[in-house]
Chains A and B, each alone.
Chain A
Amino acid sequence: MPSRAKKTRTLCMIGDSQIGSVSLALREGLTSVPDGYEMEFWGVEGPAFRTIDWTDGAIRPAPAALERVLTINGNGRDHIAPGQFDGVIFYGARLRVSMFFAEYFQWASDRVTRPSRSVLETAVHDFAISTRAYRFGRSLAAAGDHVFYVPAPFNTDGVRDLAAPGNLYHACPAAFAATEEDRAQLWDAFEAVAARDGITLLRQPEDTVTTGILTKAEFCCDGAVEQDDIGHKSPAFAARWLKELWPVVETHMAAA
């Protein structure tokens, strides 16, 4: 009997400018979409990402952002609706967990004990659903899609003094002393909350993290210091996180 050809599974990576590093990583051969899968990108950079909304049962950009979305996608896809892909991956997509981590660690530094799981996960949930893209993911998952979420990475070390007055973490000095165990507690909460929303969330690999809540300087994007860019990362960084993501995607798909 002739063997039946294995069906190619489709993935869509939705994100803001962070997906640029994924595109470069694929182009440079630092990572590759697993065999049997094909992936397209969909999204738009930074501020325009906020114009994307969930309307008429799908994720759609505002007219002003549509051209950019179509350029990034390249397949003429002007919206994302449930069931269009076998799996949807949100990458970056404005879920800035570092904000939560920093403020939480500062808050925790004034306490003598850790909060209950319910308290922590309620706070994490409230933070997550305040992010529009997370709500998109939740809606897709509720409709039956496989949804994965790679949150925005920690800001990059060595670009500027993030503890200086007026800087992001000036009010959160305790965050710089957070340990791997501290981070794990929060990642566990994020993963648990996301799982309840039908989303598989992936934590930032520990070997990319330094100084409590920062990404190692070696993973900065090109020209980071000159452009004062603490947010974007290198293709190598994207490849490192995707190394964690791909097996998870394959496992979920295999179980489907």
Chain B
Amino acid sequence: MTHPYEELGPEAFWKTAVAEPGPFGLSGLWSPKFPIRPRQKIVTAGSCFAQHIGRALADRGYGWIDCEPAPPFMQTEHARSHGYGVFSFRTGNIYTPAMLLQWLELAYEQRADSGEIWVKDDRFYDPLRPAIEPGGFETEAELWDARHETYAALRRAVETSDVFVFTLGLTERWRNSKTEVEYALCPGTVAGTFDPAQHVFVNSNTRQTQAALTDVIRLLRAKRPKLRILLTVSPVPLTATASGKHVLTATHYSKSVLRAVAGMTADRYPFVDYFPSYEIITHPVFRGMFFAPNMRSVVPEGVATVMKHFFADQIAAFPDLRELRVIPDKAQTTPVAEEDLRCEEVLLDAFAR
């Protein structure tokens, strides 16, 4: 051997791995660390794009678990508008590791509830998930009951699952400088009143993002020592940025930080893996074909391609998975209807000039 590149396979070279096969011939983008088997219990959480993964897994008969199911007989569209069946619990979108950490710490009573509630037109809104109850809760008690129900579901999800899939979405976040509450959305958008004296904008850098994600992983593993964690990064661009930058460059900054942290974290822990759905959707080799005309929404073909790579790479790494005949379990809730993902962030569009 005269140099290390001599021994590398075709996947290591752009010409043979990308240029020649082209977008539809790419393979081996992911070398999974661990198999994900249909009988395993899989939890999904995170930003909008995580909803696709939960749905695709459930459709294939994988053990996506819904720890906070909707009441019986509620139509799917109504269940989803109330935040049921979207993720494994009714948190709504969790865009940042800091937000996930807050949910987990609250659920495990490692952080005190601030008691903050947003009021609008005599209805009550949860600052951690203001869009979860369309039109707001009727009473404060209802809001807290619902919150405690979700804490219980979160604990159930963590303590019974085998794989925790978390999709990182944003680095931009809003928090309360006095109470340290992490908000799902900027106060004043869906509900609440923006107060510049206490509502501060934070655009997390890699250090801050990794610190929060590390704390999340420690907490998850403390509660479920054998839990495996699969990280993805949402390819969906920011709807709006408060960074003062152009939304396009702000998006690249945000996604770059998230991608870097996901990779660093996966490299650090043997039980954490990174699945490159972000690259599959956004890389120039795909020429933007997986985005809708607004260049933000991901079209179904993109999701299908992502999941095709997911399952193909799983089988390539663990050939015994090929033998498993996966039969969808109708008793399980399909988490998302394709055409109507829940994305509270889109509500920001209402405020766009």
**Residues of A with Cβ closer than 8 Å to B?**
100, 103-104, 106-107, 111-120, 122-124, 126-127, 130
Contacts and interface: CB of A to CB of B under 8 A. Distances in A.
A188 B71 CA distance: 16
Interface string B139-168: 000100110110010000000000000000
B133 A127 contact: no
Contact of A118 (B73, B82, B148, B152): B82
Contact of A116 (B75, B138, B148): B138
B71 A119 contact: yes
B149 A118 contact: no
Given A112-B152, A118-B133, A122-B78, A100 B146 contact: no
A81 B149 CA distance: 46
- Mostly, the B contact residues are loop
Interface centre among A111, A114, A116, A124, by most chain B C-beta atoms within 10 angstroms, is: A116
Contacts of B75: 126
B148 A103 contact: no
Contacts of B71: 104, 107, 115, 119-120, 123
A128 to B, nearest CB: 9
B70 interface: yes
A123 B137 contact: no
Nearest to B78: A122
B72 A103 contact: yes
Identify the 9 closest CB pairs spanning chains A and B, nearest first: A113-B145, A103-B72, A123-B71, A127-B73, A123-B74, A116-B142, A126-B75, A112-B152, A113-B149
A116 B78 contact: no
B72 A118 contact: no
Contacts of A130: 73
A124 to B, nearest CB: 8
Contacts of A120: 71
B69 interface: yes
Contacts of B137: 116, 118
Nearest to B137: A116
Given A116-B137, A116-B138, A122 B82 contact: yes
A107 B138 contact: no
Nearest to B138: A117
Interface residues of B, number: 20
A195 B267 CA distance: 59
Contacts of A104: 71-72
A128 B258 CA distance: 46
Interface centre among A107, A119, A120, by most chain B C-beta atoms within 10 angstroms, is: A119
Nearest to B152: A112
A130 B142 CA distance: 27
A115 B146 contact: yes
Contacts of A124: 73
B319 interface: no
Nearest to A112: B152
Contact of B149 (A112, A117, A122, A126): A112
Interface in B61-100: 69-75, 78, 82
A100 B73 CA distance: 7
A136 B260 CA distance: 59
Given A111-B149, A122-B82, A126-B78, A116 B133 contact: yes
Contacts of A118: 82, 133-135, 137-138
Contacts of B134: 118
Nearest to A116: B142
Contact of A123 (B72, B133, B138, B149): B72
Contacts of A111: 149, 152
Given A112-B148, A130-B73, A117 B78 contact: no
B82 A119 contact: yes
Interface centre among B74, B78, B82, by most chain A C-beta atoms within 10 angstroms, is: B74
19 contacts: A100-B73, A106-B72, A107-B71, A111-B149, A112-B152, A115-B145, A115-B149, A116-B138, A116-B145, A118-B133, A118-B134, A118-B137, A119-B74, A120-B71, A122-B82, A123-B78, A124-B73, A126-B75, A130-B73
Nearest to A105: B72
B134 to A, nearest CB: 7
B257 to A, nearest CB: 37
A126 B74 CA distance: 6
A122 B74 contact: yes
Given A103-B73, A107-B72, A123-B72, 7 more contacts: A104-B72, A113-B145, A113-B148, A116-B142, A117-B138, A119-B82, A123-B71
